Chain A
Amino acid sequence: MPTLNIHVPDTPPETLHASLMEQGYLVIEELAVDQAAKVSAELAPDIEAAPYGHDEFLGPRTKRLGRVLARSPAARELVIHPTIMALCDATLLPNACNYQLNFTGIMHLEPGAKAQDLHRDGGIYPLRHPSPPMIMPAMWALTDFTAENGGTQIVPGSHVWEHERAPFADEVVNAEMPAGSVLFYLGGTWHGGGDNKSNTMRTGMALQYSLSWLRQEENQYLANPPEVAKDYPERLRRLIGYDFGGPYLGFHNGDDPHRVFEPGYDGPPMRSRAELDARSASIDLIRIGDVQAVPTPKREGVRVAALSRQPKLET
């Protein structure tokens, strides 16, 4: 079995990003031990009360909780941890003007919980693998993760496999890491919850980030409606979706959706911000599908003005 791709907390973001793109996953050991313990304490009553999964995929000895931010103030700080934000910048901004929180969830495996079928989180979008990163999940260990207690199964390198290729058992590793560590992987990486063959609980907090032009897996507006999100810091509110996904994308009343928290604002409405416009102009547009263009006729003369909302144009 290969050794795990483990890093220490003060590793430079460029190094982390390069490693994530190469191996499709990485672990940062003990990145936020005290904060993770706080989250764990805040969520204990909700985990106690949560139902077990109703099918094999969700797990009859596994408890899941969504809407983590609404439940745990300490989790709100982990979502915007500077190391994660730097990794999101490097991993997601090449293919979007902005990124967003995609999913929050507690995955609590009790003794006897069966391993989840391996899957790719990016499978919720109708795109073939391999593809550029759409999702970057972060799985925080709220308890120690071991091979025995259901530490996440990961298939290193599988983010660049052909779409149809599925892993063999000896290609799977378990993310073993002490509480307060975090496992990152990509939307194209094969993974799944492990078997809990131990007699202890394994609790993980999954926080996923995605390209801001995709629909969120967990609807953050309904999970964190304005009357709840008003208590969050602005950075977090924007990250969960009270922001543009890019120029002209995701507005509310023709304006920045963050205005729902700015009742006194009386300036002009905006459809974008300069920062997003600049990023939009620098993004390399990407091919999707296999639609063939009609040939461009060769003609003399002037073509009309630029397509204003088109980020990048050849002349």
Chain B
Amino acid sequence: MMLQRVGPDTSLDSMCAILETDGCLVIENLAPDLVACAKAELDDHIESALFGPGNFAGEHAKNVEGLVGKSDAAHHLIIHDTVMALCDRILLPNCVSYQVNYTGIMHLEPGTIAQDIHRDGDMYPFRHPCPTSILATMWAGTDFNKANGGTQIVPGSHRWEHGRKARPDEIVYAEMPAGSVLIYLGGLIHGGGANVSNTKRTGISVQYSLGWLRQEENLHLAVPPEMARTLPDRLARLVGYDFGGPFCGFVHGDDPHRLIEETPLSERCHTYPELNERAAKQQRLHWGDIKPVPTPLESKVAEEFLYDAVADMN
């Protein structure tokens, strides 16, 4: 399969259709000015970062995380309208609220070897294929090509059987001009490429996940309350100063966003109406293979007693 590339004006429906079948997509030149700004703000951090070990990609690569505290332009990338619209479509079917999962630079200098291919969703102990847990974006801070370590991608692999490995001829490379973005799903097999060129390849990775999962990067430590207070409301909620759903993720028995508000509201609450509405509509997922005990007939007919925990919290 090829990696499909679309222009920034492509309809949301078309992009979602590609993500459904391929698990990946490049939107070319989606935000060149913003990405250039973010990269300029982050260059000093990249310069002073140490090469591996301990990072994802080895001796000639650098990772810099905690982008919210390092680049104002990155704030705008994180809440980019197109990305938010894709998250709404891809993540909201399986959660009441989604969150930023990871923010980091993947900077590959000449000589970087290819990263082992993997699935980001493997942080969670689920068998593949499974509902999408993560939507990942890789913004091209520089041009990406096969020679300089453009991301290795295995289109369609988000729907493969669990143990199936990729063949070399099933791997394609994310080639895209700076300012473009590669979108892929948590079930997609991918990895950083080898940089056999003589130029540096810089990617800005921002991931989003279902709001009931633990974040890969601890955003509450990366963005402590005193920093969160300075952020736009949407961004503060997105990094985790919000509920993951009704009764999920509160502090002081209340919306975590209250911690960073000027005038805390007086009423304690464990949810808000928008979350309740979404929770009530949510299809619950089967998890595991536990067979229930048979329900006795009298319980089946007693419909007036039927009860759902989340619905009741409304």
Nearest residue (CB) in A for B118 is: A309
Nearest residue (CB) in B for A247 is: B123
Chain B residues with CB under 8 A of A237:
none
Overall SS of chain A's interface:
loop
Q: How far is the CB of B164 from chain A (nearest CB, A)?
A: 5
Is there contact, CB below 8 Å, between B251 and A218? yes
Given A291-B129, A304-B165, A314-B162: A253 touches B222 (CB 8 Å cut-off): yes
> Is A235 interfacial (CB-CB < 8 Å)?
no
Overall SS of chain B's interface:
loop
> Is B117 interfacial (CB-CB < 8 Å)?
yes
Residues of chain B in range 269-298 having any CB-CB distance to chain A below 8 Å:
269-270, 279, 282-293, 295, 298
In-complex Cβ contact of B164 among A226, A289, A296 (8 A) = A296
In-complex Cβ contact of A293 among B56, B160, B312 (8 A) = B160
Is there contact, CB below 8 Å, between B167 and A96? no
Q: How far is the CB of A239 from chain B (nearest CB, A)?
A: 14
Residues of chain A in range 159-178 having any CB-CB distance to chain B below 8 Å:
160-168
Number of interface residues of A (CB under 8 A): 94
> Is B63 interfacial (CB-CB < 8 Å)?
yes
Is there contact, CB below 8 Å, between A294 and B156? yes
Stretch of A28-36, A75-83, A144-152, A265-273 with 4 or more beta carbons under 8 angstroms from chain B? A265-273
Chain A residues with CB under 8 A of B95:
126
* Total cross-chain contacts (CB, 8 A): 286
Q: Give Cα distance in the complex from A165 to B303, angstroms.
A: 9
Is there contact, CB below 8 Å, between B225 and A286? no
> Is B9 interfacial (CB-CB < 8 Å)?
no
Is there contact, CB below 8 Å, between B312 and A117? yes
Contact with A along B57-85 (1 / 0, CB 8 A): 00000010110000000000000000000
Q: Give Cα distance in the complex from A272 to B217, angstroms.
A: 13
Nearest residue (CB) in A for B163 is: A314
Is there contact, CB below 8 Å, between A127 and B284? yes
Nearest residue (CB) in B for A211 is: B125
Identify 16 residue pairs between A and B in the complex whose beta-carbon atoms are under 8 Å apart, listed by A's number: A128-B286, A160-B292, A161-B295, A164-B306, A166-B305, A250-B216, A251-B217, A253-B65, A271-B54, A293-B161, A293-B162, A296-B164, A303-B167, A306-B116, A307-B119, A309-B123
Binding site for A on B (CB under 8 A): 53-56, 63, 65-66, 94-96, 104, 116-119, 122-131, 156, 159-168, 171, 189, 211-218, 220-222, 224-225, 240, 244-253, 256, 259, 267-270, 279, 282-293, 295, 298-300, 302, 305-310, 312-313
